[in-house]
Structure 1
Amino acid sequence: MTLEPTSHADTVRAALRAQLTAAMKARDRDEIAALRSAISVIDNAESVDPAGARTGATEVERRRLSAADVSALLHNQVRDYLAEAGSYEALGRAAAAAPLRRQAEVIRRHL
């Protein structure tokens, strides 16, 4: 029995996980790092606000992210990678910037 994705975040997460499996088989470190990070960003955004959780509640519904929410999260992640890469390049460390640019491109493919 398989469950159908119930939200846009679930659909994107499923695509990211499928790509993660392929990246792991290919041993592509940059792609693996980018995909794991993107999945974590979505998971963290869906987490329950501790202030809103009731004491004693055993099951609390996770937040539902819209397509715009997921897109904004991934755009921010790409922006952060590119900003960090720019910082490395400004310090003359192009070799350190290259993996970050590649990771940004991996995530950009899912936008």
Structure 2
Amino acid sequence: MGDRLRKARQMTGLTTRAFAERIGVSQATVTNAENDNNKVRRITLNAWSLATGVPVEWLETGNAPSAEAEGASGADDGTRTRNILLGSPGSSPTSPHTGRSARHEP
């Protein structure tokens, strides 16, 4: 799971310190999660997902949610999710709440 957490964070363009501040945890929590040193708490996974725009299911399992699950939750049609997971150009994660980019602007 650590590799997926790292990929999602890196898509935001944030350092581990800045990302930790964004989701309300310590830098050590982010580093430990990305290095698979500790089990990641559900609340931390939820915050990670919100900050990166990447589904919790993918962070946990590596499987993209089905289109049915995304449609039922009001998420996108899956295109943005697939682009993020596959690293397509222009696939900057957006906040599911604001629609704005989750990428940190200096």
TM superposition score normalised by structure 2: 0.28
Larger radius of gyration: 1
